[in-house]
């Protein structure tokens, strides 16, 4: 295993050594009465919570030994830090969502309970239906440590009204002409910006969450680091080209809103935004014509990027066996189809336009095929690495000088690698 940063090492140590208030280790604690379960999540969306609570209520109908099932929302920005703090403080949840960026730490640390046996024995579960591409990040030594409940490709939501008012062809028209590229997208964004609205917004980036820029630099074939995680990729020729394009688009062409500017596509204030299909619900009452299209092609051609989230059972939980049983129910084929309304499923049988359309009535079959189904088939996952928490903060700080009009892109990216290479091992 490669060395990890001090902060990450402390967090992992906490995951491995902390016992809960009810008892430690892996020995179940006998308690009287129905047993409650708590799952940490990072969504507070009312529609999501309503569905989760409905699934939990169905589970409890046949399990009188189960008490309240609580879904505990934690803000996305501080999710992993808060989760590890809870674990270290003896307040660990029974189940937890895990970000793809934190997957290497959680899986390698032994913090999560193995799931294959429980899922494999669950009636009608069809464990083999889970696609290898979806489970890869959550496996180690042939064991599965989290269920990849959301495997969601990034796409581009488009305000066709703003695009047309700026005298531009829509992305859909460009796709049909074989011209949907990053150069065309930047030109479109700049044209809309000239008319007073914003061009393209990389949602949740905000010049802080740099890993969301993988949805852009993937078009150049760039990577944050090598496949084995041992070498920095920020100063590679591909990344320099991608970041130079992005820098010009921001500071010269004004195709993207600059630092310090908050723009909400879903309020009609931007021509395009890069995000995932779970945001489609925000368009239910949109007063403008909109579309969803794949990411533009880059110099290396068409590509796709996915964000993932895994659902795991904390090994230290005294109710780990019960939590795993609930996880099996929560993610069985029937409930997976319900969750697909917001979180693209990892089940091959459900990756069809028919299944996804039933759960996503706002999206057309063509959109689901292009962005979700085709995207999952060819996508790479957002950057993740052992010690991601400290590594991510270091990258963010080292990239700060890039977000200035007079930045030397190559020098800044060389600086990023100078900072993180010692943290990556060899």
| Cα-trace Rg, the chain | 22
Token representation of residue 340 = 């697909």
Q: Which residues lie across from 94 on neighbouring strands?
A: none
**Which structural domains are found in the chain, ordered by start?**
6-152+307-377 (3.40.190.10), 154-304+383-424 (3.40.190.10)
Say whether pLDDT at 29 is over 60: no
At residue 49 the predicted structure's pLDDT band, cuts being 50, 70 and 90, is: very high
Of 188, 243, 263, nearest to 403 by C-alpha is: 243
Question: What gap in Å lies between CA 113 and CA 82, rounded to an integer?
Answer: 20
Asked if 164 and 139 touch (Cβ cutoff 8 Å), the reply is no
Among candidates 310, 385, 421, which has minimal Cα distance to 104? Answer: 385
Sign of CA dihedral 295, 241, 411, 235: positive
Backbone angles phi, psi at 361, to 5 degrees: -65, -20
Query: Quick check: 237 pLDDT over 50?
Result: yes
Residue 275 structure tokens: 């995000």
What secondary structure letter does DSSP report for 370? I
User: CA 83, CA 73: separation in Å to the nearest integer?
Assistant: 11
Token duo for residue 69: 């099932």
Report residue 338 as tokens.
Answer: 């319900």
Query: What pLDDT shows up at residue 13?
Result: 43
Residues 163-205: tens digit of each pLDDT: 999 999 999 999 999 999 999 999 999 999 999 999 999 998 9
pLDDT at position 31 is 58
pLDDT score of 32: 65
Question: Cβ contacts of residue 211 below 8 Å, gap of 6+?
Answer: 101, 224, 382, 383, 392
pLDDT tens for 251-285 read 999 999 999 999 999 999 999 999 988 788 889 89
pLDDT at 26 over 70: no
**What pLDDT band is residue 19 in, cutting at 50, 70 and 90?**
very low
| Phi, psi angle pair for 86, to nearest 5° | -60, -45
With tokens 């939501």, the residue in question is 157
Is pLDDT of 367 > 60?
yes
Q: CA nearest 263: which of 184, 181, 342, 207?
A: 207
- In DSSP notation, 230-255 reads -SB-TTSHHHHHHHHHHHHHHHTS--
Position 387 scores a pLDDT of: 81
Say which DSSP state 225 is in: B
CA atoms within 13 A on the CB side of 150: 23
pLDDT band at 30 (very low <50, low <70, confident <90, very high): low
**Tell me, what DSSP letter sits at residue 150?**
E
- Return the percentage of the chain with pLDDT > 90, whole number: 69
């Amino acid at each position: 295993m490669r060395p990890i940063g001090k902060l990450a090492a402390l967090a992992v140590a906490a995951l491995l050594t902390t016992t809960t208030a009810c008892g430690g280790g892996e020995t179940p604690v006998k308690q009287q009465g129905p047993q409650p379960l708590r799952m940490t999540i990072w969504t507070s969306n009312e529609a999501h919570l309503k569905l989760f609570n409905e699934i939990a209520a169905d589970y409890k109908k046949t399990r009188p030994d189960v008490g309240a099932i609580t879904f505990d929302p934690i803000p996305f920005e501080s999710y992993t830090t808060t989760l590890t703090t809870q674990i270290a403080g003896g307040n660990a949840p029974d189940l937890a969502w895990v970000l793809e960026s934190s997957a290497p730490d959680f899986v390698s640390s032994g913090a999560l309970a193995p799931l294959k046996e429980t899922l494999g024995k669950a009636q009608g579960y069809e464990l083999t239906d889970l696609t290898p591409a979806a489970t890869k990040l959550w496996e180690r030594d042939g064991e599965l440590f989290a269920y990849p409940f959301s495997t969601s490709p990034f796409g581009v939501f488009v305000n066709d009204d703003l695009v047309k008012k700026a005298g531009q062809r829509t992305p859909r028209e460009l796709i049909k002409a074989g011209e949907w590229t990053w150069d065309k997208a930047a030109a479109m964004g700049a044209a809309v910006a000239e008319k007073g609205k914003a061009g393209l917004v990389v949602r949740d980036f905000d010049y802080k969450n740099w890993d969301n820029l993988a949805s852009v630099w993937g078009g150049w074939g760039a990577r944050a680091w090598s496949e084995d995680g041992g070498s920095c990729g920020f100063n590679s020729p591909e990344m320099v080209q991608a970041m130079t394009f992005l820098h010009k688009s921001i500071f010269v062409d004004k195709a993207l809103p600059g630092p310090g500017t908050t723009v909400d596509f879903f309020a009609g204030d931007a021509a395009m935004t890069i995000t995932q299909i779970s945001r489609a619900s925000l368009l239910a009452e949109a007063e403008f014509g909109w579309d969803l299209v794949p990411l533009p092609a880059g110099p290396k051609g068409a590509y796709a990027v996915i964000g993932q989230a895994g659902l795991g059972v904390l090994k230290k939980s005294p109710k780990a066996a019960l939590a795993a049983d609930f996880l099996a129910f929560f993610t069985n084929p029937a409930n997976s189809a319900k969750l697909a309304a917001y979180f693209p499923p990892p089940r091959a049988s459900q990756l069809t336009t028919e299944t996804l359309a039933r759960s996503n009535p706002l999206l057309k079959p063509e959109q689901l095929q292009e962005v979700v189904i085709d995207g999952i088939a060819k996508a790479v996952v957002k950057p993740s690495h052992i010690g991601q928490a400290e590594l991510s903060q270091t990258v963010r700080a080292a990239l700060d000088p890039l977000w200035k009009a007079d930045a030397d892109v190559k020098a800044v990216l060389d600086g990023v690698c100078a900072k993180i290479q010692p943290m990556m091992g060899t």
